[in-house]
Amino acid sequence: MSIPATQKGAQVLDPRSLYSLEPDEPALDSPVLIHALSGYVDAGEAVRLTQQHLLSTFDKHVVARFDVDQLHDYRARRPAMIFDVDHWESYADPELLLHAVTDAAGTQFLVLTGPEPDVQWERYVAAVISLIERFGVRLTIGLNAIPMAVPHTRPVGLTSHASRQELIPENEPWLQRVQVPASASHLLEFRLRQRGLDAVGFAVHVPHYVAQTEFAPAAERLVSAIAASSGLVLATDELTAAATAARDEIDKQVAESDEAMALVSSLEQQYDAYARGRGQDLLATDAADLPTAEELGAELERFLADHTRRNREDPPG
C-alpha cells in the first residue's frame, strides 16, 4: 500500500505509524465507521452523549489506538489530574481509540472517539482512510451538534451532507453556500469524497439557550439518523427517557417566568413560519414584527443560566 498524499500531491509521513492495531483484529463484514471526536462544536454535548450511549449500551472492544502524543496540543487542552493531600492520584490520559461495537442485531460497526487532533490533520486523515480500507468500511458517518435559534418545544432539526447526494435522498437543505471553520472530521469527509468513498455527516440543531448543558433530545436525534442511514439496529430507550426528562425540566424552568414563556413563544413562531415557507426570509410577512433570533436566544439563555445559578446557590427544599 502506498503512502497517501494530500490533494496537492505532497507526501505526508507514513500515516500508518500514527496508530497501532490490537492483537485480536476483528473479522468485519463491510462495517460502518462512526467518528465522534471531541474538541469541535458540540452544542448540548450531543456528540459526547451519542458516543457515550453507543459505547455503554452495546458490546465493544478496542481495535486500534492512535499515538496521541503526535496529535495533541497539551498546553492548549490540558488533561485533568487529581491531587490528593500529598500526592498526584490520577491523570486523565487523552486517548484516540477505534472501537468495534456490536449492535442489537449482532452486526459489528466501528466507532472512533477521542480528542480532535490539534496538528497533522492530513496525516491523521490518511491514517483513518488506511483503516477504512483495511477493514472494508462501506460508509463513514461524522457527527456534529450546532447551536441554533430554535425552540426546545419543536422537533430537533438536522443538517445532512454527504459525499454523494444519493446517500441522503430525503435531505432538504436549509442553507446554500457558506464558509465555516474547518474540523478534522469535516476534512476526513472531504478527502473521502475526493477518493470516491461513501461518507455522510449529520449536524444536529440544538436550541442555543441550552447549548452549554446536556440536551439529550439532540443525541437521540443523532442516534436515529445513524440507524436510518446505516441500517444498524440501535436502541434509544435510555436516550428517549433522558430526552423527555430534559424537555420537562426546561418547561418547568421556563414556566416560572412570563418573560421566558414569551421568548419561547416567539421562537416557536419563527420556527413555524420557517416550516410553512422554507427558503423565505423568516422576518418577512407574518414574522416581521418578531424580535431577531439572536435577541430571543440571548435573553432566554441568560434567564436559564440565572435560574440554574440560583438553584445551585439556594437549592429547593
Residues 46 and 152 both lie in one domain: yes
Residues 97 and 65 in one domain: yes
Average pLDDT over residues 168-177: 81
pLDDT for residue 58: 97
What proportions of the chain, in percent to the nearest 5, are helix, strand and coil?
40, 20, 40
Q: Which three three-digit cell numbers place residue 146? A: 450546532
In this structure, what CATH number is given to the domain that contains residue 89? Answer: 3.40.50.10900
Q: Are residues 20 and 115 in the same domain?
A: yes
Of 180, 211, 239, the residue that ends a domain is: 239
Same-domain status, 155 and 260: no
Q: What is this structure's pTM? A: 0.85
Please count the structural domains in the chain.
2
pLDDT of residue 309: 58
Dist. CA 183–CA 201, nearest whole Å = 12
Backbone phi and psi for residue 227, each to the nearest 5 degrees, phi listed first: -60, -45
Once rounded to an integer, what is the mean pLDDT over residues 46-60? Answer: 97
For range 17-21, the mean pLDDT? 97
pLDDT in the model for residue 297:
53
Q: Does 248 map to a domain?
A: no
Percent of the chain residues past pLDDT 90, beyond the cut: 72
Domain that holds residue 296: 256-313
Predicted local confidence at residue 279, as pLDDT: 47
Model confidence band, residue 170 (pLDDT cutoffs 50, 70, 90): confident
Q: Same domain for 265 and 214?
A: no
48 and 192 co-located in one domain: yes
Q: How far apart are CA 162 and CA 151, in angstroms?
A: 27
